[in-house]
Amino acid sequence: MSCLHKRPKRTKSEEQVFLEKVRKIAQENGKRLGLEGDEDLQFLLVGGELVKIRSSSWKKNRFFKLQEDCKTFWHESHKTFKRNQTFSVDDIDSVRKGRQSEGLNKHTEPSVEEKCFSIIFKGRKKNLDLMAATEPEAKQWVNGLEKIIFNMRNLSRQQKRYVLSKSLHQNFSWIINCMRKADKNEDNKMTLKELKHFLRQINVEVDDTYAADLFKKCDTSNSGTLEDLEIQHFYNLLTQREEIDVIYGKFAVTEGQMSARDLLDFLLNEQREEASTMQDALKLIEKYEVDATAKQKKHMTKDGFLMYLQHEDGSILNPAHKNVYQDMNQPLNHYYISSSHNTYLMEDQLKGPSSTEAYIKALMKSCRCVELDCWDGTNGEPVIYHGYTLTSKVLFKDVIKAIKDYAFKTSEYPVILSLENHCSVDQQKLMAHHMISILGDALVTKPLGNTLPTNFPSPEALKGKFLIKGKRLNKLDAIFNNNNTLEEDTVSEEDEAADCKENGQKAKPKKSKIKLAKQLSDMVIFCKSVHFNGFEHAKDNLSFYEMSSFKENKAFNLADTSATAFMHHNMDKLSRIYPAGSRTDSSNYNPVPMWNVGCQIVALNFQTPSKEMQLNQGRFLPNGCCGYVLKPEFQRHLSSQFNPSTLTEGPWLKKKTFHIMVISAQQLPKINKDKHKSIVDPLVRVEIFGVAADNASKETHYIENNGFNPMWNERFQFDIHVPELAMVRFVVEDYDSTSQNDLIGQYCLPLTSVQNGYRHVPLLTKDGDVICSTGLFVHLMVIDAQ
Please, what sign has the CA dihedral across residues 183, 189, 193, 195? positive
Q: Which residues sit opposite 300 in a β-bridge?
A: 258
Are the CB atoms for 734 and 671 separated by under 8 Å?
yes
Q: What is the DSSP letter of 324?
A: -
Reference 602, options 402, 358, 385, 367; nearest CA is 367
3-state class (DSSP) for residue 504 = coil
3-state class (DSSP) for residue 310 = coil
Residue 425's contacts (CB-CB under 8 Å, 6 or more residues apart) are: 488, 515, 516, 517
The number of beta carbons lying within 10 Å of the beta carbon of residue 45 is: 20
Q: Rounded to an integer, what distance in angstroms lies between the CA atom of residue 358 and that of residue 607?
A: 7
Are the CB atoms for 615 and 634 separated by under 8 Å?
no
Residues, the chain, total? 786
Q: Rounded to an integer, what distance in angstroms lies between the CA atom of residue 444 and that of residue 173?
A: 50
3-state class (DSSP) for residue 749 = strand
Residue 510's contacts (CB-CB under 8 Å, 6 or more residues apart) are: 498, 499, 500
Q: Rounded to an integer, what distance in angstroms lies between the CA atom of residue 432 and that of residue 5?
A: 56
Q: Kind and range of the H or E element at 391?
A: none
Q: For 213, phi and psi rounded to 5 degrees? A: -65, -45
Q: Rounded to an integer, what distance in angstroms lies between the CA atom of residue 490 and that of residue 425?
A: 11
Q: For 492, phi and psi rounded to 5 degrees? A: -75, 150
Is 433 annotated as catalytic?
no
Are the CB atoms for 98 and 114 separated by under 8 Å?
yes
Catalytic residue among 75, 386, 422, 721: 386
Catalytic residue among 197, 334, 341, 568: 341
Q: How far apart are the first and last CA of the chain?
A: 73
CA–CA distances in Å: residue 288 to residues 261, 302, 307: 16, 11, 6
Is 341 annotated as catalytic?
yes
Q: Kind and range of the H or E element at 689?
A: strand 682-689
DSSP string spanning 526-539?
SEEE-----HHHHH
Distance of CA 773 to the CA centre of its chain: 16
Q: Kind and range of the H or E element at 398?
A: helix 396-406
Reference 732, options 689, 767, 700; nearest CA is 700
Q: Rounded to an integer, what distance in angstroms lies between the CA atom of residue 609 and that of residue 767?
A: 5
Are the CB atoms for 271 and 757 separated by under 8 Å?
yes
**Strands laid side by side in the 696-699 sheet:** 696-699, 682-689, 727-734, 742-750, 757-764, 770-784, 656-666, 711-720
Residue at 121: amino acid letter:
F
The beta strands (E) that lie in 47-192 are given as 48-53, 59-66, 72-79, 82-88, 92-97, 116-121, 128-131
Neighbour-count burial of 746, counting CB atoms closer than 10 A to its CB (0-12 exposed, 13-18 middle, 19+ buried): buried
Helix-helix angle 135-153:39-46, to 10 degrees: 110
Catalytic residues: 341, 386
